[in-house]
Chains A and B, each alone.
Chain A
Amino acid sequence: MPSAGIETGAARPAQSYWNESWERLRANRIGVAAGILIVVLAAIAIAAPLFSALLTHYQPEAINLDETFAKPGLKHLLGSDEIGRDTLTRLIFGARVSLGVAFLTVLLSTTVGTTVGMLAGYYGGWLDDILMRFVDMVLSIPAIFLFILMSILFRPNPVTLAMIVASVGWGAVARLVRGEVLSVKERDFILATRSIGASDARMMLRHLLPNVLPVLIVAASLGVGQIILVEAALDFLGLGIQPPTPSWGNMLTNSQSYFFRSGFLVAFPGIAIFITVLASNLFGNAVRDAFDPRLKSH
């Protein structure tokens, strides 16, 4: 029915893939709410000193032995810990660690994974074999052992911690990108581009990368929540950010010793992790549904 096609074409102008995806994302109310929550959390993390000066009036590492195990109240909004440090202040500063490490990890693992996957998929042959066998190895080591060994080796700070977590994460990205490149490579426009003499670098950066980008965006936004969980677990085990610097994970490390004194000390950091991961996952799902409708779950 050619006429129907023309009519709909006139009523709804052709949109680019990116415009359409953006519209789909904006129409997803849960996704938008989760995205806004993450932006708010990130803003709180960045402005943490401002909050401690104006709202809580405590420093995250300030000890006050007269006010240990305070219950939540006017003086300490969310209570205080075993040496009288204000829980809310520590949570706000802890957000810097959780979100900072998560974003840095995603950035690192996507960059490395894309480079490796692109090279392996584009050149193929022995390079592909070597790179992909290496990816197999990285993904076969139980990740937690690698994390333990590396945190013993490098004294973890936020940057090394991100590198440690990314040292496993890039493998999955590389596999994903390689798969996409292999399928895009077979399309006619690549043959056409090659026949007019485009260089390898131009092929990869100008023609393959934009086609891989949707999968990358989806993988990156789905990864954030998992990384926050992994980072918190490492902090909890004492393998991540070291006290006295507060992080949501290491605030829970000693909480087991204080169960009988204050249950709040256990509850609040976990709730902070839970809400952040939940928002990241919901946002990630919305991004997946918007950018890659093929993958949409029922």
Chain B
Amino acid sequence: MLAKYVARRFFASVVVVLGVTLITLVLMSSTRGSYVPGIDLNPALRPEDIARLRAGLGLDEPFYQWYGTWLWAVLHGDFGRSMIDGSPVIAHILERLPNTLELTATAIVIGVLISVPVGIIGALRRGSKVDHSLTVVSVAGFAVPQFWMGLMLILIFSVTLEQHGLPWLPSSGAFSAFNGGDLLDRIAHLILPATVLSFFYLSVWSRFIRSSMLEVLSQDYIRTARAKGMSERRVVYLHGLRNALIPLVTLIGLELPGLVSGGLVVEVVFGWPGIGKLAFERALQYDYSTVLGVTFFATLLVIAGNLLADLLYGVLDPRIRYG
């Protein structure tokens, strides 16, 4: 049953991945004429040189031929070479991936560590002052633009502190260019971007855990547990929390694609050398092969995240059957 379900999901996913790369390429090939802006205006290049450059990059082929070539190579594990610097696309991705993972994983861990207790407190003291103020924080978290929160943190914790001669936090990059790179230096660089990213997770997840907890606590088996004299602590943590956390697994699974795209704006604001920033910069330079590679990779993460969340859901909640 499960194997059949996974197989069906897998085939649906293949169709989706093909469609996504095709859409991406059609969009990019529509902009193809402007690849390397101004190449036609450069007096140092003769028309035949331009033609040779274009042909070398496959820009004169119709897009379906380009797509075919690209797809065939990808099936053999070759993502091609960057059109800007000629180095393998996969090398770019693998170079940036650890930085993105470092940032996102930190933000997710902080988000879970804070949102779970916050959600439980909100549910247990529903309607209290604490609950109301937590709600306000979370509602605010939904409305703050991430990039602006980043700018404000830089303004306060880097610029203003530095102006007043106080110890300040670095605002750009993953480590210092000079004498940097040790653990403390990396943590210092991580603080501001991870705060922005985890604040968003926090405001989404804490609401979610709160309502999930409230729902679980109103179930019959909780009443039964209380009726047979179980201590409130055991009821809440043993029976309540375990079931209330199930939906969180799905939410975190759905954040997997955020590894690449969710952090893009934050990576750009903080000059964080991650995958999102890579895609952003390369798209502005019309580097198709790199953008296509990153999009392909990101789409795989979306699909894997969805599938993983569904499967974990089934493991944690045996009532769910895959049909």
Contacts and interface: CB of A to CB of B under 8 A. Distances in A.
Interface stretch (B79-87, B93-101, B153-161): B153-161
B154 A140 contact: no
A133 B151 contact: no
Contacts of B31: 149, 152-153
Q: Chain B interface residue count: which class?
A: 35 or more
Interface stretch (B13-21, B43-51, B65-73, B227-235): B13-21
B27 A150 contact: yes
B28 interface: yes
B103 interface: no
B115 to A, nearest CB: 16
Interface in B164-192: none
Interface of B: 12, 15-17, 19-20, 23-24, 27-28, 30-31, 126, 139-140, 142-149, 151-152, 154-155, 159-160, 163, 207, 210-211, 214-215, 257, 260-261, 264-265, 268-269, 276, 279-280, 283-284, 286, 291, 294-295, 298-299, 302-303
Interface in A121-170: 133-134, 136-138, 140-146, 148-150, 152-153
Contacts of B151: 252, 255-256, 266, 270
A143 B155 CA distance: 29
A274 B211 CA distance: 25
Contacts of A233: 145-147, 265
Given A142-B260, A148-B284, 11 more contacts: A136-B12, A140-B16, A145-B279, A149-B27, A152-B31, A152-B283, A229-B143, A274-B145, A277-B145, A281-B142, A298-B126
Contact of A145 (B24, B126, B140): B24
A55 interface: no
Contacts of B145: 229, 232-233, 236, 270, 273-274, 277
Contacts of A141: 20, 23-24, 295, 299
B265 A133 contact: no
A145 B143 contact: no
12 contacts: A137-B19, A138-B23, A142-B295, A144-B276, A145-B283, A148-B284, A152-B286, A153-B27, A229-B143, A277-B143, A277-B145, A297-B211
A263 B286 CA distance: 34
A274 B284 CA distance: 28
B24 A140 contact: no
Contact of A225 (B142, B155, B210, B257): B142
Contact of A136 (B16, B28, B126, B268): B16
Interface in A239-298: 252, 255-256, 259-260, 263, 266-267, 269-270, 273-274, 277-278, 281-282, 297-298
A273 B152 CA distance: 14
B287 to A, nearest CB: 12
Contacts, number: 134
A142 B154 contact: no
A252 B283 contact: no
A190 interface: no
A274 B16 contact: no
* Interface of A, helix, strand, loop or mixed by DSSP: helix
Contacts of B299: 140-142
A145 B298 contact: yes
A158 to B, nearest CB: 19
A40 interface: no
A141 B20 CA distance: 6
A32 B14 CA distance: 47
A149 B291 contact: yes
A237 interface: yes
